[in-house]
A and B are shown apart, each in its own frame.
Chain A
Amino acid sequence: MKQTLVVIGNGMVGQHFLAGLAASTGKDQYDIVTFCEEPRPAYDRVHLSEFFSGKTAEDLSLIPEGFFADNGITLHLGDRAATIDREHKTVTSAKGVSIRYDKLVLATGSYPFVPPVPGHDRKNCLVYRTIEDLEAMTAAARTGKVGTVVGGGLLGLEAAKALKDLGLDTHVVEFAPRLMAVQIDEGGGAMLRRKIEALGVTVHTNKNTSQIIDGDTCVNKMCFADGEELETDVVLFSAGIRPRDDIAKGCGLDIGQRGGIVIDNHCKTSDPDIYAIGECALWNGMIFGLVAPGYAMARTVIADLNGSEALFTGADMSTKLKLMGVDVASIGDAHARTQGALIFTYQNGGSDVYKRLVVSEDKTRLLGAVLVGDANEYGTLLQYCQNGIALPEHPDSLILPRNAGEAVGLGPDALPASAQICSCYEVSKGAICSAIEAGCTTVNALKAETKAGTGCGGCVPLLKSVLNCELAKQGYEVNTDLCEHFAYTRQDLYNLIKVEGIKTFDALLAKHGRGLGCEICKPAVASILASHWNDYILKTEHVGLQDTNDTFLANMQKDGTYSVVPRIPGGEISPDMLIVLGQVGKKYNLYTKITGGQRVDLFGARLEELPAIWKELVDAGFESGHAYGKSLRTVKSCVGSTWCRYGVDDSVGLAIALENRYKGLRSPHKIKFAVSGCTRECAEAQGKDIGVIATENGWSLYVCGNGGMKPRHADLFATGLDKDTLIAYIDRVLIFYIRTADRLQRTSVWLENLAGGLDYLKAVVIDDKLGLCAELEQQMSHVIDTYQCEWKTTLEDADKLKRFRHFINSDQTDDNIVFVEERGQIRPANPEERRHFQLVEVA
């Protein structure tokens, strides 16, 4: 006879418990019933703020398709368990469902603490916990301009990011003298504050909110005990959590003095048939507000139900996260509370990095650490701390900047098999190595097999280095070759071409490659040669390397015709020039469309028509738009201070200057710029590779943003720049990208993969850490000095024009190209329509 197991709460921990139980042998002994108060089952609260950067509720869901049905679990969705009758062993829900249980698991979680200040329940005073809360925030942000988070802890800063993403002028109000007071020390807190303020969030510390009243300019006004006031439309409380223990209290279970359901090492409450796990549980006087300890408790209960033992003995509260793009990590005894602990601190004001080690009195063991601004050492330090690995003679060497060539941290090889790599899912290095032996040879395969890295994601870099190390040991070669013809990376080839002065593909292939080349290495090398030497790309020795778009200086479309995009710098165009585009479009019967980069695309040009079309365009004063190349595309701009009431500076003028400066620059992938004339950001510069925004104090430079398939918000690189400094920085960033990126790697992915990240890029470009700046600028000026309009050059060369024919032995045209009309313009015929027009004969 099966017993009945009731689980109250389907949050992250409740779901982790269900999934673990369903995968265990004990599953067949129980009929499982779960109550979920929210309208949707478990979702990933850790990554809640991603809701504002485009993730949907579905994306955040933690429920595999068919989970409840497949495992025979009855889910009562949108129904809160209201009371427990321990005598009759029944749970009754708000909707009146009554279930008799044999075993009961409480996973009721926590609720956000809202300080009981007068006015806390006013309009737009919200909390940040559920997807419904996020929807309320979105609604409130629609009509508001200013948002304030009460609470500068981990969740508060996440919430501040959400407000910022919603486009609000964002404030953080913290009662304590510093941010993240629980996890990091004073020095780390100060550094974090500086960095967050640089991102445009105003931080107020030592602030005690006394009441919230009607605002004068905003919906609300916060009044503080020190007499200061803050006008704000939205107030978001994130001042800590409180365990949801009311249902346990109601049935007489032991509750801690300050709340929380008391549990023992088996996670049992004072009733041996009732367990409590996650943030509602109080173990040894502690509430654990992170997901990993909750998961550990879930595993303890599963073991108990299965008749084995896995005691919960506390949890490591170490954590690493990215708060508003700032890396923050805290390990172990971050506040040095251990008797006799020694402290080592490294602070770099220039690149805003703060690191602190807490070491045992005898300097042999790492007790704790704080990292702000650069948390690359997190994995290594965590291993030292958790596994009690003996520290090197000079512990501070672990946090001091390393020079090139020195060993980096603790190699994965030095870790014991028992070392825990993923603390969310408790995956050991041994388990990962077994999975690698069983055939997992990519990080994604390891994630699928072991779940490591799928929780908070903090261990992914370590996971990757364990993988690479093991693969190397097992004789796999980690292949970074460009292709079968070159056993080099793109960066290697760039250096060879530069250092050895190689000017052609054939010379490079003869010296460093093998075979004939392919469609991977040829365009990659063509791009490097063009970036470095900037020869005309259709020179005989280069033309065979180019993709068809570069070969014919136009963009091939699905039917083999091409589109034509003349350059319109900054999107500024006179009526006369627009008329030329209209006339050309009409004369050659081209489909015309406005592009996202503020220019005009003319489609449906046959190969043999391209020279005539371009002759008319060049004669009228147009230049090639390089839409066909992996090169600078457009510099988008808003209308700027010339016309706009709000404009702070001349964005159009700067956009035109930048576009003319960098036009024709060949790069690993396409590059897009934008310039906005004020912080309203109408040009969407923060979604571009290079974005510039005018402020009262000068230009702000953003780098490495992207729209498209995988959007990335650009990083703020420098502020208050004059035009010359701005251009020098852009010169350096672009050439450094061109030299060091992989093939077809956009700047966004390049920066994500650049060791040291944004801080390193700043060190190279602003502080000239590598002593390269002059060289980078010199290379850019070579490219600029040797610019040519590729269409103008081509039109002047009768020999080159010979290629622009469909047949070299006939003046006939390709009869497979068929257009039909739609909305008054041409489009390619679909196969069905085509059959009506012609007989296609294929041998």
Chain B
Amino acid sequence: MTIWFDVCAVEDLQPNSGVCVLVQNQQIALFYLPATESVYAVHNFDPFGLANVLARGLIGDIGGQPMVASPLYKQHFHLTTGECFENSSVRIPAYPVRIDNARVSVGIPEPSV
């Protein structure tokens, strides 16, 4: 089950760039690409640099796939799957995003207790 959390307004996002939101005590990076009218959400933690910085990475695409490049050591992560392009065994959490009434919500998987 996915639980949806309202996190911010669309206008709080940075076009072609990232911001970070706190949801359920988790840091989530949100990226907004006006060209494709898309908003992506992945965890903010860089598993290589071991710091909460991915929201400050540059975004774009590799071969048409949306990606963020870590600002620390430049590894690329897929914005919808979270998979690292350089090392497919590394994957960061990625989350679904909904836009409704100019508000942004992020879907967090319900803890499987």
Which residues of chain A have a CB within 8 Å of any CB of chain B? 484-485, 515-519, 521-523, 540, 543-545, 547-548, 551-552, 556, 558-560, 803, 806-810, 812, 814, 816-817, 831, 841-843
Contact = CB atoms under 8 A, between A and B. Distances in A.
B56 A516 contact: no
Given A806-B20, A843-B93, A547 B58 contact: yes
- Counting chain B CB atoms within 10 Å of each CB, which of A543, A803, A808 scores highest? A808
A812 B53 CA distance: 15
Contacts of B49: 558, 560
A543 B71 contact: no
A397 B16 CA distance: 54
6 A-B pairs with the lowest CB-CB distances in the bound complex, closest first: A544-B16, A560-B51, A519-B69, A518-B60, A548-B71, A519-B58
Interface of B: 7-8, 12, 14-17, 19-22, 25-27, 33, 35-36, 43, 45, 49-53, 56-64, 66-67, 69, 71-72, 74, 93
Given A548-B71, A556-B53, A558-B72, A519 B60 contact: yes
A659 B72 CA distance: 29
| Chain A at the B interface: SS class | loop
A558 B51 contact: yes
Contacts of B17: 543-544, 551
Given A518-B60, A518-B67, A842 B20 contact: no
Contact of B19 (A515, A516, A545, A808): A808
Given A803-B14, A807-B21, A516 B66 contact: yes
A807 B56 contact: no
B22 A807 contact: yes
Nearest to B23: A809
Given A548-B56, A558-B51, A560-B52, A484 B93 contact: no
A842 B45 contact: yes
A556 B20 contact: no
Contacts of B52: 560, 806, 814, 816
Contacts of B20: 806-808
A809 B22 CA distance: 7
A842 B8 CA distance: 22
Contacts of B8: 808-809
Contact of B69 (A518, A551, A816, A841): A518
Nearest to A831: B50
Given A518-B58, A519-B58, A809-B22, A842 B43 contact: yes
Given A558-B72, A841-B25, A842-B43, A540 B15 contact: yes
B112 to A, nearest CB: 12
- Counting chain A CB atoms within 10 Å of each CB, which of B8, B12, B35, B93 scores highest? B35
Contact of B56 (A485, A545, A552, A817): A552
- Counting chain B CB atoms within 10 Å of each CB, which of A517, A547, A842 scores highest? A842
A246 to B, nearest CB: 60
A544 B18 CA distance: 8
Contact of B53 (A516, A517, A545, A560): A560
Contact of B51 (A519, A812, A816): A816
Contacts of B59: 516, 544
10 contacts: A515-B61, A516-B35, A552-B56, A556-B56, A806-B20, A807-B27, A808-B8, A808-B12, A843-B26, A843-B93
A552 B43 CA distance: 21
A27 B95 CA distance: 65
